[in-house]
């Protein structure tokens, strides 16, 4: 079947690369924070440092953390601020090479074979070469990410890696260490310039050390009150200032409780927007109880907080804010 030629293949550029069109990568940690802030991402300094180093040294960035703390958003923001294409590989159990990297277009190959037969083609070797050439290749995200654009290499987001299984992680090693992948019938395809790679995990299981070793690692934590308020002001500017402060103080207290699932930044944003949609400009026991479902996603957690506990937290929050 295969001609067994292991020739190295350079990923063809979609267009010729041009530095003039390539927005400059940030040159310092401060510049990285400013770049992210330009797209309304309020990063703590340690995260900006990890992003800066990963861009500077061309190493993948591995972001681990609880749900809704801004891991996926980093990749989106980098793609938009650097003017790069975002190539997203959403991981799931059973994800295989055919969905993640490439597959052959069997129906088109079959048609090609039929046509060749109809035309009386005799040269089987030439036909094999032809049907296993790039025009019959379906490029999935990992392969797409090896292909640069005019603005430079794309941002490859490998999202929620903990949902896949170990054989897939092993397959990723070649891509992450050498920015290349091997197609047995075609050869090794290598990126001329490495893509910007962001991997995320919710840590539902540990990711193999071999993957982590190839990446910069950063644990994305819940933001402190000051940063969460800054996020809220940027992402939900229509929310009344007093309401934003109360929401943040309330959520920060909830995160100290022993709940089944703590609210992330995503939930803080949802809650403030829901309260604003109800014309609230400050929290009351009634509005808290009525809207807890936008903040907590497990009935046991809602039952624990609703009523007396919500009132207690709310009076603490109001006392704290009034004392300022």
| Distance of alpha carbon 219 from alpha carbon 231, whole angstroms | 18
Nearer to ligand ATP, 49 or 128 (CB): 49
| Distance of alpha carbon 174 from alpha carbon 215, whole angstroms | 13
For ligand ATP, which stretch binds (CB under 6 A), given 7-15, 37-45, 112-120, 126-134? 37-45
Nearer to Mg ion, 63 or 295 (CB): 63
Rule CB under 6 A: is residue 222 a binding residue for ligand ATP?
A: no
Whether 64 contacts 45, CB under 8 Å: no
List 63's β-bridge partners, or say none: 200, 218
For ligand ATP, which stretch binds (CB under 6 A), given 9-17, 144-152, 179-187, 265-273? 265-273
For ligand ATP, which stretch binds (CB under 6 A), given 36-44, 99-107, 164-172, 297-305? 36-44
| Distance of alpha carbon 158 from alpha carbon 188, whole angstroms | 21
Give the strand pairing for 180-183 and 61-65.
Answer: unpaired
Query: Which position among 87, 142, 176, 231 is part of the footprint of ligand ATP (CB under 6 A)?
Result: 231
Rule CB under 6 A: is residue 73 a binding residue for ligand ATP?
A: yes
Residue 250 interacting entry, from ligand ATP, Mg ion, none, C-beta within 5 to 8 Å by type: none
| Distance of alpha carbon 40 from alpha carbon 29, whole angstroms | 17
Q: Closest CB to Mg ion belongs to which residue?
A: 72
- Least Å distance, CB 119 to Mg ion, is 51
Q: What is the DSSP letter of 16?
A: -
Q: What is the DSSP letter of 246?
A: H
| Distance of alpha carbon 246 from alpha carbon 256, whole angstroms | 16
Rule CB under 6 A: is residue 235 a binding residue for ligand ATP?
A: yes
Query: Which position among 240, 266, 274, 282 is part of the footprint of ligand ATP (CB under 6 A)?
Result: 266
CA distances from 160 to 62, 89, 211, 295 (A): 10, 9, 14, 22
- Least Å distance, CB 182 to ligand ATP, is 30
Spatial CA neighbour of 137 closest among 185, 104, 100: 104
- Least Å distance, CB 90 to Mg ion, is 9
Q: Closest CB to ligand ATP belongs to which residue?
A: 70
* Residues in touch with ligand ATP (CB under 6 A): 40-43, 65, 67-73, 200, 202, 231, 235, 265-266, 269
């Amino acid at each position: 079947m295969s001609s067994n030629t292991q020739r190295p293949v350079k990923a063809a550029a979609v267009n010729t690369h041009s530095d003039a069109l390539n927005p400059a990568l940030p040159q310092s940690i401060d510049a990285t924070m400013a770049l992210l802030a330009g797209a309304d991402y309020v990063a703590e300094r340690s995260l900006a440092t990890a992003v800066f180093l990963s861009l500077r040294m061309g190493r993948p960035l591995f972001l681990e953390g609880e749900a809704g703390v801004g891991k996926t958003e980093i990749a989106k923001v980098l793609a938009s601020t650097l003017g790069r294409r975002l190539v997203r590989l959403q991981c799931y159990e059973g994800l295989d090479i055919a969905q993640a990297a490439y597959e052959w277009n069997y129906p088109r190959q079959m048609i090609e074979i039929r046509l060749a037969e109809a035309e009386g083609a005799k040269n089987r070797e030439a036909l094999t070469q032809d049907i296993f050439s790039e025009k019959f290749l379906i490029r999935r995200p990992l392969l797409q990410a090896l292909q640069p654009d005019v603005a430079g290499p794309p941002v490859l987001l490998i999202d929620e890696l903990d949902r896949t299984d170990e054989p897939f992680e092993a397959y990723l090693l070649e891509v992450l260490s050498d920015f290349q992948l091997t197609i047995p019938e075609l050869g090794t395809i290598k990126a001329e310039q490495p893509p910007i790679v962001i991997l995320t995990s919710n840590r539902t299981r540990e990711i193999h050390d071999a993957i982590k070793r190839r990446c910069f690692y950063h644990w994305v934590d819940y933001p402190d009150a000051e940063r969460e308020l800054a996020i809220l002001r940027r992402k939900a500017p229509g929310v009344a200032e007093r309401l934003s402060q109360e929401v943040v103080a309330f959520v920060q207290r909830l995160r100290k409780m022993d709940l089944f699932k703590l609210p992330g930044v995503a939930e803080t944003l949802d809650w403030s927007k829901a309260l604003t949609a109800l014309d609230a400009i400050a929290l009351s026991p009634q509005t808290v109880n009525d809207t807890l479902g936008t903040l907590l996603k497990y009935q046991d957690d809602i039952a624990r907080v609703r009523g007396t506990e919500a009132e207690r937290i709310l009076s603490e929050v109001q006392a704290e804010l009034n004392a300022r």
